[in-house]
Structure 1
Amino acid sequence: MTAGAERILVIGEALIDIVDRGGRQARHVGGSPLNVAFGLARLGLATTFATAFGTDEGGSAIVRHLAEAGVAIVRTADAGRPTSTALARIGADGSASYEFDLAWAFSTPPATAGFDVVHVGSIGALRAPGADGVRELVAGLPEQVLVTFDPNIRAALMPPREETRARVEAYAARAAVVKLSDEDAAWLYPDDAQAAPERLLAAGARLVVMTRGAEGSVLHTGELRVEVPVRPTVAVDTIGAGDAYMSGLIAAIVRRVGIDDARAGRFTRAQLAEIGAVAAASAALTVGRAGAMPPTAAELDRALDRALAADPTPAAEQGSVVPLR
């Protein structure tokens, strides 16, 4: 991937992950939108992150962390509140469960002129009162801006299910690209989780991607369904895996599809397989090391080169590509 002129704005929460492994704790900068912004910048895209955090030790760590990747920061609220935290308990299989101490404010919306892509998601997009301002901002974006969205459901922090589902579908009405996990889908649509992509496409999304953990991911458009396998890796933990998938997906769409075509939903079979493979490789590299540390562009390119050397099958043939029923 080579650097381009595209500018990306990510909006959402920043926090400190307190990672507990059998009673031993370590602190990492986190928050789903922050991880996406960090991942995009590491992949060479000019990225600005609009968020809120305090002037405490946690806030200083966030500033240092984002500076490492060259992410520009815009505050969406004054810095008088403590920086939010998430306690992540890591199980024997590397999975994580969370407890949050979080406040999300959006009293100072960022300027959006000049951005080609706006990504929103998670608590910042769905938890009031800050989410109300985020929804208003997204609804007012110029048509030429590509909007991407990841609900990244944290049930304990969300509004009631029906209200959250309505908010998610409202974002899908404007977002060309929606990524969600099978767990998100099961919470949002408990009666028929497999219908979630169709529901979100009907709401207005052009591309809906469902990640399924070890079973890989499925990319849905109005005409196609493309299955992409996971990349083999030894999992250290799953923190940030979905966010690394999201940043890899956005970067691949921008570089390999183009903003105008993605916004209009013009994806070929080969493109869907390719961008899914890039996103899966990004996630695999992240779960192979502790904390939410997504790959650099060079690391991702090397991983993709190794995969191509091991299996030279064209990208369009690596996944199962079938029409939607």
Structure 2
Amino acid sequence: MPTPTPPEKVLDPSAEPLRVLVAGEALIDVIHLDGTTREHPGGSPANVALGLARLGVATSFLTALGRDARGEAIAARLGEAGVALLPESWSLPTTSSAAASIGADGSATYEFDIHWQLPHRIDLPPVRHLHIGSISAFLAPGSDRIEQLADEVHPGATVSFDPNIRADLVGDRAAAVARFERLAKLADIVKLSDEDALFLYPDLSVDEAARAIASTGALVAVTQGSAGSILTAGDSTVAIEPIAVRVTDTVGAGDSYMAALLAWFLGSGTDPARDRTRAELASAGGYAARAAAITVSRAGAEPPTSSELAAG
């Protein structure tokens, strides 16, 4: 496998913290595979927070957990990686879960038991970047609070958004598309899958959907599974070739891609939405693709560390 290109500026733990806040759901994945069942902390935003921390990015996390064994397991896993869990996160009677069934090709299908809400008063840490997305961006009542947070920190902080759409949880499609477009307009980076693009814009190709979203000024990344990914910024679109690995399962692959993409742009020390050269887009996309490839090569949502990425 080729060695990934690191960010333009290596993240230095002794330097001023990047102060990234991830806000969104955390839950327990109950994974059914080959007649066995195991539980594993998950949830797309939680996976992104974990991935950022493992790549050396100072990360805080705002979520909704219950004071139960599952909630404590999620908090412990994030804490071990260095993620700072905001105290307002302990707001539910029980922690949410998702039952994931793994197919023969490693793909996962989900059934959710999730409750999502946030307190109105939140003592936010200093924020240079906010990442939002997934179920928490669409599921009431917490989705309205997520949108308020994005509006509050913008434009003083940059924002990234991954809709990670679950069609059976977003409710009315027209309302979901309208919310997506409001949040995308606040975002400097939008990452989505080709399935997300099809749900949002069924009459457009993936390239056309990416360009339409990017017209608001965001950098847009679209992952396409085994077909690789594309990055679009302004008038430039760069295709990122897939990295061939033996797939164990695809749980957390998109979240690892998102975390590595953010780490690359945050590590560059510049506005992620500024005009980017094709070489920069290719470097960032290759770095993210390598992170996703490492994740799918092992069971569960296990994003790589910076040393694993550097090892090639």
Instruction: State the TM-score bracket (shorter-chain normalisation).
Output: over 0.9
Alpha-carbon separation, structure 2, partners of 1:215 and 1:171: 27
Corresponding residue for residue 218 of structure 1: 230
Do structure 1's residue 86 and structure 2's residue 70 form an aligned pair? Answer: no
Alpha-carbon separation, structure 1, partners of 2:198 and 2:87: 33
Corresponding residue for residue 285 of structure 1: 294
Q: Which runs of 5+ in 2 are unaligned?
A: 1-9
Corresponding residue for residue 167 of structure 2: 155
Report the identity percentage: 45
Q: CA deviation at 1:122?
A: 0.3
Is the Cα–Cα contact under 8 Å of residues 172 and 205 in structure 1 kept in the other structure?
no
Q: CA deviation at 1:165?
A: 0.7
Corresponding residue for residue 40 of structure 1: 52
Alpha-carbon separation, structure 2, partners of 1:158 and 1:109: 25
Is the Cα–Cα contact under 8 Å of residues 55 and 304 in structure 2 kept in the other structure?
yes
Post-superposition, which runs of at least 4 consecutive aligned residues in structure 1 deviate over 6 A? Answer: none
Q: CA deviation at 1:198?
A: 2.3
Corresponding residue for residue 206 of structure 1: 218
Is the Cα–Cα contact under 8 Å of residues 241 and 284 in structure 1 kept in the other structure?
yes
> What code does the residue aligned with 1:285 have?
I
Do structure 1's residue 139 and structure 2's residue 148 form an aligned pair? Answer: no
Corresponding residue for residue 181 of structure 2: 169
Q: CA deviation at 1:250?
A: 0.1
Alpha-carbon separation, structure 1, partners of 2:262 and 2:92: 33
Is the Cα–Cα contact under 8 Å of residues 91 and 118 in structure 2 kept in the other structure?
no
Is the Cα–Cα contact under 8 Å of residues 18 and 25 in structure 1 kept in the other structure?
yes
CA deviations 1:128-161 (Å, max 9, x no partner) are 1101011011112142311000000011111211
Is the Cα–Cα contact under 8 Å of residues 233 and 275 in structure 2 kept in the other structure?
no
Is the Cα–Cα contact under 8 Å of residues 109 and 137 in structure 1 kept in the other structure?
no
Report the RMSD for the aligned CA atoms in angstroms.
1.4
Q: CA deviation at 1:69?
A: 0.3
> What code does the residue aligned with 1:158 have?
V
Corresponding residue for residue 311 of structure 2: 302
Q: Which structure exhibits the higher relative contact order, with contacts defined as CA atoms closer than 8 Å and separated by 6 or more residues?
A: 2
Alpha-carbon separation, structure 1, partners of 2:137 and 2:88: 13
Q: Which has the higher helix share?
A: 1
User: Number of paired residues?
Assistant: 299
Q: CA deviation at 1:97?
A: 0.3
Is the Cα–Cα contact under 8 Å of residues 62 and 89 in structure 2 kept in the other structure?
no
State TM-score, norm by structure 2: 0.92
Cα 1:205–1:110 shift into 2, 3 Å: farther
Cα 1:109–1:231 shift into 2, 3 Å: farther
Corresponding residue for residue 192 of structure 2: 180
Bigger mean CA deviation after superposition, 266-275 or 189-198: 189-198
Is the Cα–Cα contact under 8 Å of residues 67 and 90 in structure 2 kept in the other structure?
no
Corresponding residue for residue 309 of structure 1: none
For 1:1-325, list aligned pairs within 5 A.
1-3=10-12, 4=15, 5-76=17-88, 78-108=90-120, 110-194=122-206, 195-202=208-215, 204-256=216-268, 258-260=269-271, 262-263=272-273, 265-303=274-312
> What code does the residue aligned with 2:307 have?
A
CA deviations 1:209-250 (Å, max 9, x no partner) are 100000100001111000001122111000000000000000
Does the residue aligned with 1:156 lie in a helix, a strand or coil? coil
Alpha-carbon separation, structure 2, partners of 1:245 and 1:72: 21
